[in-house]
């Protein structure tokens, strides 16, 4: 662990102000690091995105909308109906403003960690998966999804996205257009783990 990482960790703990959320981002950072190592991506970038992904997660809906508007960020119709998802895009801005992150790949991974996107980098997928299947999450397929993420990123993305959309449907909630687009993308490229 580099000093920079330790320093950022302290800053994140202060920024989040909640032990529960801090423990989550640490688990996400660790899992993202391991997934990056496994898949030949830069572990430091994955760890950084994991650590900073939820900086705005505890903001109220009103604050999310207000802070996005203050930065002249466009807010789409889905985001107006579901302001919570704005924590991802606003979080990337906070990572830049407060922690000096300029790596657009890291910032994109933060932006896409909640609703995903029709086109995602491998770093985006690693951070999305680390957030979705970290060991603190509790749902029946968690362990199998985590194992799959170490074998085949595309198949894991397809599986996690399919599960998320199904979960939303069961709850009578809408999935974001970006999530539907991501599922279509990964469905078209997924392979069975055994052929990977």
Q: How far is the CB of 110 from Fe ion (least distance, A)?
A: 9
Q: How far is the CB of 113 from Fe ion (least distance, A)?
A: 6
The whole-angstrom separation of Cα 47 and Cα 64 is: 24
Q: How far is the CB of 136 from Fe ion (least distance, A)?
A: 10
DSSP state of 195: G
- Count Cβ atoms within 10 A of the Cβ of residue 20 and give its class: 0-12 exposed, 13-18 middle, 19 or more buried: exposed
Instruction: Identify the three-state secondary structure at position 41.
Output: coil
| Nearest residue (CB) to Fe ion, 28 versus 159 | 28
> For residue 165, what are its two tokens?
């959309």
Binding residues (CB under 5 A) for Fe ion: these are 54, 57, 131
Q: How far is the CB of 84 from Fe ion (least distance, A)?
A: 9
| Nearest residue (CB) to Fe ion, 21 versus 193 | 21
| Nearest residue (CB) to Fe ion, 5 versus 193 | 5
| Nearest residue (CB) to Fe ion, 111 versus 190 | 111
User: If phi over 0 gives left and psi between -120 and 50 gives alpha, with beta otherwise, what is residue 18?
Assistant: beta
């Amino acid at each position: 662990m580099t000093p920079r990482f330790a320093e950022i960790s302290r800053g994140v703990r202060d920024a989040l102000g909640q032990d529960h959320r801090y423990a989550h981002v640490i688990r996400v950072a660790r899992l993202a690091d391991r997934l990056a190592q496994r898949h030949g991506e830069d572990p430091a970038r994955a760890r950084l995105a994991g650590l900073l992904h939820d900086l705005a997660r505890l903001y109220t809906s009103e604050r999310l909308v207000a802070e996005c508007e203050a930065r002249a960020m466009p807010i789409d119709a889905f985001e107006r109906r579901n302001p919570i998802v704005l924590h991802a895009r606003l979080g990337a801005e906070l990572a830049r403003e407060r922690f000096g992150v300029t790596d657009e790949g890291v910032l994109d991974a933060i932006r896409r960690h909640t609703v995903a996107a029709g086109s995602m980098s491998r770093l985006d997928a690693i951070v999305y998966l680390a957030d979705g299947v970290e060991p603190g999450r509790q749902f029946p397929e968690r362990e199998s999804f985590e194992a799959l993420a170490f074998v085949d990123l595309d198949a894991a993305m397809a599986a996690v996205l399919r599960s998320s959309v199904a979960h939303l449907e069961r709850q009578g909630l809408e999935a974001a257009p970006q999530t539907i687009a991501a599922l279509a993308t990964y469905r078209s490229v997924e392979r069975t783990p055994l052929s990977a």
